[in-house]
């Protein structure tokens, strides 16, 4: 089997070399993608008898598409509705094509995709590079061209391509092969890869330059869980690697710290502010995984906050970096268009006391003499900061202050 897979990959590599296609070149992902995905909130729930409203099914996908179209999410930029794992039936059909579970998707994926499109939204789906998906359903190994053609026929706009049950050493050629076959269909399909994550956690080196040429989006770390510790762990991992990750992020290709979990069970309001603000600083995909039918108004307001979305979607596409971390206080900075800088102050401490902080322009790596700092959540509070007048702020525990700094000429 290993030889068969390796030989097949070598054939694909030869095709790519002859045709000179090294990368997607699909014109997608000029800003980080925004949308909704099933996984973190609904996992692999297939029990539609006991839990018909929350199982992975066409009913769930249609319900979320309806809400995204009607309740402001689509208009704010959330455009993709994505099914993660566990949508498949146990076997391919006699022609080798993927088959959705007939009980949970009785109308078929093509009709479901058409329904999502009728809401002026885009449709995404999950598959796996290996013999089986992470949930144990048929994977794409030996079937990449067939699956790419199937997805195009179904009207798929976004593919999340996982890496379970596969050979890590085949990832570069294999992920490039799927990108080639997606392009070959003639349909524009956003390509989200799990490639770096599996290599990093296995202690292997990642060729990020090749990842960027191949994928629109790539995961680098473990799945987000519904907890503050998980969100903070991801932020800290990004902080430790921000200079590496930032080098390869930009229009057309983005690092992916995983889903937005606002509106679920595990985060306080302050912690939800942290995730939304940090994902804006990180130029991360804003892919929600929550139940939009039952979401707190405060969570919805954060998700629809146009100021945070504008930072996230800034056309320069420069990912933010960690400037410093000391005594549980992190300072992050992201260059924005129009000579602006987004600056975030994250208090990861759990001692219950807000921290009163003071920072000079030198601390913040800002080189001019005078700046106006506008609080980014509401864009109402302004603070003048000069070489002689530091920025003085209060940051709540497990909280964040986010500002847009603009040079002033007085």
Residue 252's Cβ-count burial label (10 Å; 0-12, 13-18, 19+) is buried
Cα separation, 112 vs 108, in Å, equals 6
84 is catalytic: no
Question: Which residue bears the tokens 């069970």?
Answer: 265
Question: Which residue bears the tokens 């704010």?
Answer: 76
In eight-state DSSP terms, residue 392 is E
**CATH classification (class only), 321-407:** mainly beta
Report residue 66 as tokens. 């309806």
pLDDT in tens, 215-268: 999 999 999 999 999 999 999 999 999 999 999 999 999 999 999 999 999 999
Which percentage of the chain shows pLDDT scores above 90? 93
DSSP H stretches of helix in 155-227: 171-184, 195-201, 208-214
Q: What is the bridge-based pairing of β-strands 34-37 and 370-375?
A: unpaired
C-alpha dist (Å) from residue 75 to 69, 190, 217: 8, 20, 23
DSSP one-letter string for 357-370: EEE-TTTTT--SSE
Angle between helices 269-281 and 228-248 (to 10 degrees): 10
- Secondary structure of 320-342 as H, E, C letters: CEEEEEECCEEEEEEEECCCEEE
pLDDT in tens, 289-308: 999 999 999 999 999 999 99
2-312 is classed in which CATH architecture? Alpha-Beta Barrel (3.20)
The per-residue pLDDT for 17 is: 52
Q: What is the bridge-based pairing of β-strands 34-37 and 80-82?
A: parallel
Choice among 162, 170, 256, 314 that is catalytic: 162
Choice among 51, 53, 75, 223 that is catalytic: 223
Say if residue 6's pLDDT is above 70. Answer: no
The per-residue pLDDT for 16 is: 53
Say whether 321-407 and 2-312 share the same fold: no
> Does the reported pTM lie above 0.85?
yes
Domain boundary assignment for the chain: 2-312, 321-407
Q: How confident is the model at residue 3 (pLDDT cuts 50, 70, 90)?
A: very low
157 is catalytic: no
Say if residue 184's pLDDT is above 80. Answer: yes
| End-to-end Cα separation, the chain, in angstroms | 71
Residue 39 and residue 260 in contact, taking contact as beta carbons nearer than 8 Å: no
């Amino acid at each position: 089997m290993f030889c068969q897979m390796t030989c097949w990959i070598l054939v694909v590599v030869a095709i790519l070399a002859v045709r000179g296609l090294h990368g997607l070149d699909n014109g997608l992902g000029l800003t980080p993608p925004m949308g909704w995905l099933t996984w973190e909130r609904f996992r692999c729930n297939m029990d539609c008898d006991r839990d018909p409203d929350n199982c992975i099914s066409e009913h769930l996908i249609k319900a979320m598409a309806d809400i995204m179209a009607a309740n402001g999410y689509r208009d704010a930029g959330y455009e993709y509705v994505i099914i993660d794992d566990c949508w498949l039936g146990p076997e391919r059909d006699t022609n080798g094509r993927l088959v959705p579970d007939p009980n949970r998707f009785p109308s078929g994926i093509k009709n479901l995709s058409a329904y999502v499109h009728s809401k002026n939204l885009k449709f995404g789906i999950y598959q796996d590079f290996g013999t089986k998906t992470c949930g144990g359903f048929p994977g794409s190994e030996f079937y990449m061209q067939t699956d790419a053609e199937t997805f195009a026929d179904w009207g798929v706009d976004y593919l999340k391509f996982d890496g379970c049950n596969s050979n890590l050493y085949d990832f570069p050629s294999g992920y490039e092969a799927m990108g080639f076959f997606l392009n070959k269909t003639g349909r524009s399909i956003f390509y989200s890869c799990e490639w770096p994550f599996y290599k990093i956690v296995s202690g292997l080196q990642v060729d990020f330059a090749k990842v960027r040429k191949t994928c629109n989006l790539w995961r680098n770390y473990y799945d987000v869980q519904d907890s503050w510790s998980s969100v903070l762990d991801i932020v800290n991992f990004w902080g430790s690697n921000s200079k590496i990750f930032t080098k390869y992020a930009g229009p057309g290709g983005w690092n992916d710290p995983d889903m937005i979990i606002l509106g679920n069970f595990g985060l306080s309001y302050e912690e939800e502010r942290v995730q939304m603000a940090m994902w804006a600083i990180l130029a991360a995909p804003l892919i929600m995984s929550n139940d939009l039918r039952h979401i707190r108004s405060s969570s919805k307001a954060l998700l629809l906050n146009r100021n945070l979305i504008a930072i996230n979607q800034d056309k320069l596409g420069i990912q933010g970096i960690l400037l410093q971390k000391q005594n549980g206080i992190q300072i992050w900075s992201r260059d924005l268009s129009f000579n602006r800088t987004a600056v975030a102050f994250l208090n990861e401490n759990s001692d219950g006391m807000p921290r009163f902080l003071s920072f000079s322009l030198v601390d913040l790596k800002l080189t001019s003499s005078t700046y106006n700092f506008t609080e980014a959540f509401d864009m109402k509070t302004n603070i003048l900061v000069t070489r002689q007048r530091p920025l003085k702020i209060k940051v709540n525990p497990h909280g964040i202050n986010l500002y847009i700094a603009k040079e002033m000429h007085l």
